[in-house]
Structures are given as structure tokens and as C-alpha cells.
Structure 1
Amino acid sequence: MNSPLIEIVYDDREHADLLLEELTLHTDARLTKKRLTLGDYQINNWLIERKTLPELVVSLCSGQLFSQISRLSECDFNTALLIEGSSQDIATYDITREALIGAICSISINFNMPILRSLSQTESAKILYFCATQLNNRETGVISTGRKPKRQKNRQLFILQSLPQVGPKLAKRLLSHFDSIEAIFTAPVEELIKVEGIGQEKARTIREILTL
């Protein structure tokens, strides 16, 4: 039985010829050019924004970086930032290492956005392909070892962590309190707030997401 093709959508304004050429070398990957409203690449329910280090510095100094990151973090997709390049690429730029580190930490911690690092377009292509294969395996219920996940609870916790402001600890408390995903998804605000760590505002946000 043949494995399903790995779908990678890329924005038609993306200028990364070498990266795209490297991706086409994978016979199990299918690339689709499309105008994306946000991000540069879409893999399943993930959007990945790719920035070279010079692009990151310019957008940080112009004040545009965090407004863009904010729009990404508020969209309906899971999002990640792929930063490409080395410190040599920004050696002549007027920015301190501390400022750059601070920005990266803020994106990772305050916006809860994973950050991927590569040194070149070739390496970025490898990262995107690895991400796509992992996501494809997860969609089909097969992890990287080729075995199906042993515990249904792990899947349930993963689903719960897709809710706004729900991390691993809160997901466990929700599942412990309600016993099932269905019970959580149908619970009114009054029931949700009984779980430690969920206040009125967070409960209303969760209900809004689930009733869209």
C-alpha cells in the first residue's frame, strides 16, 4: 500500500528557488503554489512563516515584526516561524545580539510560537520536509517509529491543546474533570470555570472557538 503524498503549499510571492527545487526532489511530496493570506508555507493545519535573518532584523527595526507575528498567532492555524541564515548575514546591521535574542524569546514565549532554525535554503527545505512527514504521520495515526500511538489519552490531550490558552497541564485537568473530549466540547461556561486555571474570560474564549 502506497503512502499518501505529502502536501506542501507555498505562497506565490515566496522567493526561495533553491528551497523549492530541493523539495521537488522528494518523490513523495507534492508542491502547490497558492496565494496565502498568512505565512509562506502551509502543511496540513500548520502555517510556517519563513524569514531570513536580515528580513527578521529589518522587520524588527521597522516595528512590523510583532504585528505580523500577532496576526499569525491569532489565526485558526497552528503556526511556526522558520528563521534562516547565520550571524554573518547580519554582521553589518545596526542591532545588538541581545535585542535579537529578546525578540526571539518573546515570539516563542509570549506568542507560544515554535521557532525553527536553519542556515540555508537547502537546510530549510529539509526542515519543511521533515515537518511535513511528521505531520502526515500524525494525521494518519502513525508516529515516526511506524507504530500507532499506544494511548488514546495522548491523542485526546493533543486535541485539547489546540484550544486557545490550553497547555499540557490544563489539558490534563480538563480531561480529568470531564472524562471525555465530547463532554469538554459541549460544556457550558459555568462548567468550564470549575476547572482550576480556567476563568470566565478563558471559558468564554473556548466556547466561542467551539461554536464557530
Structure 2
Amino acid sequence: MNKMLIEIAYDDREHAEILLEQLTLHTDVHLIRKRLMLGDYQINNWLIERKTLPDLALSLCNGRLFSQIYRLSESSCNTALLIEGTTRDIASYDITRESLIGAICSISLSFNMPILRSLSQTESAKILYFCATQLYSREAGLKLDGRKPKRKKNRQLFILQSLPQIGPKLAKRLLSHFNNIEAVFTATEEELINVEGIGRDKARKIREILTQ
């Protein structure tokens, strides 16, 4: 049985010779050097931004970090942040541990972006390879059983959960009942009440937040 060939694209401005050399050791990996407008690596529909700890600290101090993360999060692709290095790398930097932890929490929670952690370029190569093999295996499984990725549905549920007193379960019920979020937003109080778990009070609060 032929081994599945895994394609990993990397930005032509990326300086990570050890990482790239480690990836070439995998006979099932095909590296593609190209100009990426966002991120440093692309695997299928995933963009991965690689930042060393010094780069993360500098971009946090000069205000560039969150504008970069915002642009990355606006991509139509799935996105992740790979942070590489140890605290020794930033021992001389004028930045607190609390500041870094706060930034990482904000990226993970506010931008809904997975964060991968690595100690070195060699370990980063392993992480990228593991990510690639899992993504390719998952894609093969989706093609076999006909399922489609749920990224769009997850976005719809995320938007619905921003409504008053709407958690994950009620968001799923609303989407199932109305089929799309536009129908939810234009529904009357009486129509909203028809959904299990949406009482008069919740329906009124939803209409208030959508119309005020």
C-alpha cells in the first residue's frame, strides 16, 4: 500500500533551517516553498504562525502582536499559533511572565485560536509533522464517510451564544429549529418561544438586544 504524501507549505521568508531539515527526514512529507500572505506554514486548510518567544515578547511590547493575530484570525482558513523557545531566551527582556500569560490567554480565548508549544526547532518540526498526519488522516476519513467539516456550523453556534442567556445547548436548538442564524435574528417573540428552553423572558431579552 502506497504511503500517503503529506504536503506542508512554508513561507519563503521563514528562517528555520533546522526545522525544515528535520521535516525533510520524513519520506512522506513534501515541502513546498512559497509566499504565504498569512502564517508561516500551511497544511491543508490550516495556517500556522510560528513565533519564537523573543519574537512574541517583542511584538507584544511594540503593539504588533494583536494586530497580527487579528489578521490571522480573519483568514478563511483555520489558524493556530506555534510558540517556540524557553524562558531563558527572554531572560534579559523587560517583560513579565504575567504579561506573556495574559497575551496567550487572550489569543486562545478571545480569538479562539489553538496554541501549540515547542521548546526548539526540532520539537517544532515534530509538532508540525504530527499536526499534518492527523489532518490528512481526518480528511481521508471525511472523504470516506461523506461527512463535511463543521467549521461553518461552529461559527453559527458561536454567534448565537452571544445572545442573552443562550448557552451551547440552546444555541443548537435555535439553529436546528430555524435552520440559519438570520431566521433566529428576525424571529418574533412568539416564534422564539416555540423553541424548547426559550421562555417569554428569554425571548424578550433576545428581541431587545437585537433591536436596541
CA contact (8 A) 1:19 1:125 kept: yes
1:124 maps onto 2:124 in alignment: yes
Cα distance in 2, alignment partners of residues 6 and 88 from structure 1: 34
Unmatched 5+ stretches in structure 2 = 162-166, 193-197
User: How has the CA–CA distance of structure 1 residues 21 and 164 changed in structure 2, closer, same or farther, with 3 Å as cutoff?
Assistant: farther
TM-score, normalised to structure 1's length?
Answer: 0.76
Deviations 1:124-151 (A, max 9, x none): 0000000001110111117xxxxx78x9
Equivalent pair of 1:157/1:172 in contact (CA under 8 Å): no
1 CA distance for matches of 2:110 and 2:14? 27
Which structure has the larger Rg over C-alpha atoms? Answer: 2
Q: Which amino acid aligns with 1:160?
A: K
Distance 1:122 1:156, change over 3 A: closer
Higher percent of residues as helix: 2
The residue number in structure 2 matching 1:18 is: 18
**CA shift at 1:173, angstroms?**
3.3
Alignment match of 1:160 (pick from 153, 164, 167): 153
Quick one: which amino acid aligns to residue 119 of structure 1? L
Change in CA separation of 1:79 and 1:157 when aligned onto 2, cut-off 3 Å? closer
Alpha-carbon separation, structure 2, partners of 1:28 and 1:99: 40
Give how far 1:87 is off.
0.5
Give deviations 1:144-185, integer Å, cap 9, x for gaps.
xxxx78x96xx665652255835893774366436xxxxx4x
AA aligned opposite 1:69 = I
Structure 1 pair 94/35, CA: closer, same or farther in 2 (3 Å)? same
How far is 1:75 from its partner?
Answer: 1.1
* CA RMSD between the two structures: 3.0
AA partner of residue 169 (structure 1) = P
The 3-state SS of whatever aligns with 1:51 is strand
Give the distance between the partners of 1:188 and 1:87, measured in 2 at CA.
Answer: 44
Determine the structure 2 residue equivalent to 1:31: 31
Q: Which residue of 1 aligns with 2:69?
A: 69
1:72-116 superposed Cα distances (whole Å, 9 cap, x missing partner): 011111100000000111000000000110000000011110000
Percent of paired sites with the same residue: 65
Q: TM-score, normalised by structure 2?
A: 0.76
Distance 1:174 1:134 in 2: 32
